[in-house]
Structures are given as structure tokens and as C-alpha cells.
Chains A and B, each alone.
Chain A
């Protein structure tokens, strides 16, 4: 039923892919140092930052889970986006955490932690960041492939090959040009993606209309589709968990922070936060409307052709768009979605790779390494992450809805790292005991939530009975309690005054003791 024409739409997609590859590869000659590769030599200005941040934080997977949220929760599905928009605006205006972080001159967040908590905590924080980040990113390729399969109409048996080809293309320019290639291609991808999103939204409004969208939410979700606290809505646990999650993501989500650290100065970073804030609402609201439109326009018969086990709430939106978007504009839609996906994949591989190189590998580096060697290892790590994504995406069975999976995997590190960052910036008494407790308790709940259903399908465990939202919220509370109690329990020493976030960092190695209060 797809309107994708191989010649007309295929040409549009082909031109877009070629332009991206050429632009991405051309800027590789500007990369001379590890700092150029990881944070673009800290030369990024505000509008490029807005384009890059928006393109990175919107992938096919974002479109899929936000549309699914619209389909399953109504307008309330967009609440996390509104919460993050408010967090971005307030944090950008006040500089809460991001000001000291940018002024410190670090390349990753764990590097900052070493100055107050010591090298072991830097390493442990790097480990949970990688664990949460890679698990979170692991499903991007498969979900992207499923969207393209539904919209373009190609055989699902080709999904793995399409995923592989897309990943290789992204790897080519990311490996060669690092953050510089990512920024330049993000700009192109932002323009293509935004035009595509706006055109499709216009088509959706023309097809369904506002009144029918409202009626559909009223019929399927009642008052709970408009108000999260009304009967039938997701309730307080959802609001509390999402508030913590969005605040933590705004100050510690590594792909977002990588833009802040690439900004040419602290003021540019804050302006980028303020001016991109509305996008974080738009990235939930716009696909959410597509999901509601799919709920309005598709019948159970339309979804009957899905393969066994496929979630109708996840696949409804692409099936609806495949019918709605005409030849010519379908090429624009696919190019826009490829743009969204490629910018996310390239940036995420680079930023998680930067934590592996800068923090996890720090204890194993004997003295300062040459720029050439550093670039070689960074490029190797990016390739290895690509290989991991390919295989993880193929075999991991998703249980539950997509947004919950991303919230839970993100919380593995967001809960503890956000507590560590706030403490590092604003609490002099915070020390490595508190940091270790925060990392342990912050990761324990989400890891248990993720693993227990796989061991016990009957969900008899207490944790799983609490529900994902309460588990997620408790992870933030326990991480904060762990930090406070652990820090207060450690005996104060005379010589161990914390260095604070503005002090110069150490180069790594477990030989040095952590700072204490």
C-alpha cells in the first residue's frame, strides 16, 4: 500500500544520502587533534548547536515511541516533551550545572567527577554511562529499519541488510571526521528532517483535522488522554518519574552535553539550551499527533497484516503514513527520517565512544598519548560500537512499550550521574563514598526492572509489581539518599579537601586516592 516510487522518491533519497556522505567526508581534513575529533575543537556556534542538538535528539526511534505514546496515551503522551522543554529553558537561563560543567574544560562528565570523587568514581560513572547509553541505543537500528520497511514497503527480510548499509554509511563519515563531520551533517539533516516533519504534519491535519483528533482521544482514552492526573491517566508515578528523568537528561545526557562541551564558550552553550528548548516539546507533540491520527484513521483490519508478535501501537503510525503520503513527498518523508536516524546514530556512537576512550580507558594509559594514537583509538571504538549495535539490535527481544524501555535504560545512569553532577557542582561535603552509593542504588532498580521479567515471565517479583514508573522514580530518590548518607558517613580528613569542579583534572590511573570531605 506504500506510495514510495523507486524512481521519483528513490532519487530524492539517493541525492540526500550522497550529499550527506560528501559533506561528512570533506570536513575530515580539519581533524588534527583528539579535541577536534571529540568536541569539534570547541568552535561550535549557537545556530549550528541548535541544528545539531535538534537533529541528534530526534531519530526514527524518537518518532516511533512518541507516536506510540500518542496512540496509547493520547495528548498526555507528549507530557515528557513539555517537561524537558521547561527543564531546558530553566537550566539554559540559570546555568544550573551546565555553567560549571562547561567552564571546567572537560571533554566528558566523568572527567569532572575525578576532580572531586577520585579516579575510581570516574571509571564507575563511565561504566554506568556506557551500560545505560548502549542499552538505550541498542534498539535504534531495528526500530528504524521497521519504520522504513513499513513506509517504503520493502520486504521485512531485507531489514537487516538495510540496517547494515545505513550503519556503514554513517560509520564512514563519523569515523573519519568525528564531531566535525557530525556537526556538518547534522546541519543538513536538521534542514531535511524539519521540512519533512512539517510537510507531513500539514498532510495529517488536512487528512484528519483537529476536531477528529480530539474526538479520538476522548473516545479511546477519556479525560486521562488530556490530563495525566485524571481518571484513566498515567497518574502521579508517571509525572514524578518523567520529571526526574527529563531534568536528569537535560544536565547529563551525554549527546546533549557533548554539544554544550563543543560550544565555543559557556554563554553559547546556555543560549543553545534556551533556543532549543521548544524543540523538545515539538519532538513529542508532532509525532504524537501522527500517532493519534493513526488511531483515528486505521481499523483493526488495517493492522491485521502485521507479523505475529508485532505491537500494533508501534506500527500503526508508519502504516498510516504509508497510505497518506503521496509519491514525491514520500521521498521527502523517507529522506527526513533517514536524516533524523543518521544524525542520531552518528552522534550517539561518537559521544558514547568518547566516554569509553576518555574515562574507561584512562587507567590503562601510561602517560600522555600522541594525538595520532588517540585518534586511532577513538575511531576504533566508534567502529566497535557500530558492530555492537548491529548485533544487539538483531537479537534483543523488546518487552513492553518502547518509551518505557528507553526511560528505564536511560535511568541506569541518569539517576546516579545527575546526582553526582549536582553534588560535584554545589555540595563541597560530597565524596567518593556517597558517589559510590549513588551509582549502585541508581543502577540497581532499573537493571532489576529490565532483567527480572526475562527470568520470570509471571512477574512475581516485588520490583515488577511496583511498576516501571515507581521503580524509575525510586532509582532517583535512592541515588540521592545514597549520596547524602554515604558522604555524611565518611569520616572527614584534614588533607582531603575536594578540588571542586573548577580545579585542573588528573590524567587518570587508580593509584591516586579519591578526594574526601
Chain B
């Protein structure tokens, strides 16, 4: 059996677990900011596109 094959898959598995743990925390924080930004921009666009009578309501 080729020991290099074992080392390769150990590295792949370790990289996936470490990368995934890190990115989960990072995206959980930054993704929430993205949602706020996206909804804010959409709300502004929608308000700008509404006629004055709609906005008054």
C-alpha cells in the first residue's frame, strides 16, 4: 500500500475540516452584514420607484 496516498487524504480531510470551521464563523458574521446591506439597498430602490401617493401611505 502506498503511504503517500494515506498522507494525501489525511491532508485533504484536515484542510476541509479546518477551512470549513473557519469559514463558518467568518461567513456567519459577514453574511449578516451583507443581508442588512442588501435589504437596505432594495428598500431605498423601492421607495425611489414608488409614486408620491404610495410613499405618503
* B45 in the interface (beta carbon within 8 A): yes
Interface residue SS majority, chain A: helix
Question: Using an 8 Å CB-CB cutoff, how does the interface string of A274-303 with B read, 1 for contact, 0 for none?
Answer: 010011011001100100000000000000
| With A30-B43, A47-B27, A227-B5 as contacts: A286 and B17 at CB distance below 8 Å | yes
With a cutoff of 8 Å between Cβ atoms, the chain A residues found around residue B57 in the complex are none
Confirm or deny: B53 has a beta carbon within 8 angstroms of a beta carbon on chain A: no
In contact, A195 and B24 (Cβ under 8 angstroms): yes
Interface size on A, residues (CB 8 A): 46
State in angstroms the CA–CA spacing of A51 and B10 once bound together: 26
User: Is there contact, CB below 8 Å, between A201 and B17?
Assistant: yes
**Cα–Cα, bound, A36→B46 (Å):** 10
Tell me whether A170 is interfacial, beta carbon within 8 Å. Answer: no
Residues from chain A with a CB closer than 8 A to the CB of B21 are 198
Contact (Cβ within 8 A) A48 B38:
yes
- CB-CB contacts below 8 Å: A362-416 with B: none
What residue of chain A has the Cβ atom nearest to residue B12's Cβ?
A285
Given A45-B38, A282-B20: A32 in contact with B2 (beta carbons within 8 A)? no
* Interface of chain B residues 23 through 40 with chain A (CB within 8 A): 23-24, 26-28, 30-35, 37-39
* Residue of B with least CB distance to A186: B31
Whether A27 pairs with B39 at a CB distance below 8 angstroms is yes
Q: Which residues of B contact A227 (CB under 8 A)?
A: 2, 5
A51: which of B5, B31, B42, B43 is its contact (CB, 8 Å)? B31
Q: Tell me if B10 and A210 are in contact (CB < 8 A).
A: yes
A3 to B38, CA, bound (A): 41
Binary B-proximity of A453-471 (CB < 8 A = 1, otherwise 0): 0000000000000000000
From A32, A47, A183, B30 is in contact (CB under 8 Å) with: A47
| Interchain nearest-CB distance for A269 vs B (Å) | 14
How many whole Å from A66's CB to the nearest CB in chain B? Answer: 12
Q: Pick the contact of A187 from B2, B20, B35 — CB < 8 Å?
A: B35
- CB contacts (< 8 Å) of A43 on chain B: these are 38, 41-42
Please name all residues of chain A whose beta carbon is closer than 8 Å to the beta carbon of B27 when the two chains form the complex. Answer: 47, 50-51, 54, 190-191
Closest to A194 in B: B24
Residues in A with CB closer than 8 Å to B23 are: 50, 275, 278-279
Partner pick for B5 among A27, A41, A49, A223, CB 8 A cutoff: A223
Q: Is A218 an interface residue (CB 8 A)?
A: yes
B51 at the interface (CB under 8 A from A): no
Which residue of B6, B12, B34 is within 8 Å of A47 (Cβ)? B34
Determine the distance from Cα of A48 to Cα of B2 in the docked complex, in whole angstroms: 41
Q: Does A239 contact B (CB under 8 A)?
A: no
- Assembled-state Cα–Cα distance A127/B5 (Å): 43
Query: A residues 25-84 with Cβ under 8 Å of B?
Result: 27, 30, 32, 36, 40-41, 43-51, 54, 75, 78, 82
Provide the residues of chain B in CB contact with A184, threshold 8 Å: 35
Measured in the bound complex, the distance between the Cα atoms of B20 and A201 in whole Å is 11
* Listed A/B pairs (22) with beta-carbon separation below 8 Å: A30-B42, A32-B46, A40-B38, A41-B41, A41-B42, A44-B34, A45-B37, A47-B33, A48-B31, A50-B23, A51-B31, A180-B42, A184-B35, A187-B32, A191-B27, A195-B24, A197-B20, A198-B24, A201-B17, A214-B9, A226-B2, A226-B9
Apart from the given pairs A43-B38, A48-B35, A180-B42, 16 other A-B contacts in the complex at a CB distance below 8 Å: A30-B43, A44-B38, A45-B34, A47-B26, A47-B34, A48-B34, A48-B38, A54-B27, A198-B20, A198-B21, A210-B10, A223-B2, A226-B6, A278-B23, A285-B13, A286-B20
